[in-house]
């Protein structure tokens, strides 16, 4: 946390930015990798996705399997037509639905 805060403070200050750029160019191989390492709190060479990968629960896997097996395109078409009708009705009433329609 302290590293990220220090990086933010340094890079928001003009003299700090100049000094940091000089330092990284002189003593490190990549300016971008060094800045990423300071601001994100992990080294660029670390396995980033490995930190967040978890094994899904058996219940979740069963639910996903059930959803795929029981998917019905006719039901989906009915739901889509109801959504379109609802959005049209709301638009006629002057209610805007961002991201829909």
1-35: pLDDT as tens digits = 566 677 677 667 787 778 777 887 788 767 677 76
- Domain holding 79, by residue range, is 58-92
Whether 53 is covered by a domain: the verdict is no
Whether 7 is covered by a domain: the verdict is yes
Q: Which pLDDT does position 63 carry in this prediction? A: 94
Q: What is the pTM of this model?
A: 0.35
Which residues are CB-neighbours of 70 under 8 A, at least 6 positions away?
none
- Number of domains the chain is built from: 2
7 with 44, same domain?
yes
Q: Is the dihedral of CA 18, 20, 24, 30 positive or negative?
A: negative
14 with 44, same domain?
yes
CA angle 88, 90, 94 (to 5 degrees): 115
pLDDT in tens, 38-72: 666 666 566 666 766 678 889 989 999 999 999 89
């Amino acid at each position: 946390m302290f590293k990220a805060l220090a990086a933010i403070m340094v890079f928001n200050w003009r003299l700090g930015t100049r000094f940091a750029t000089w330092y990284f160019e002189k003593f490190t191989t990549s300016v971008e990798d060094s800045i990423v390492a300071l601001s994100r709190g992990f080294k660029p060479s670390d396995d980033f996705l490995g930190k967040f990968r978890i094994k899904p629960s058996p219940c979740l896997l069963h639910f996903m399997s059930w959803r795929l097996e029981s998917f019905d395109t006719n039901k989906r078409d009915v739901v889509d037509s109801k959504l379109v009708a609802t959005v049209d009705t709301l638009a006629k009433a002057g209610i805007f639905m961002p991201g829909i329609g």
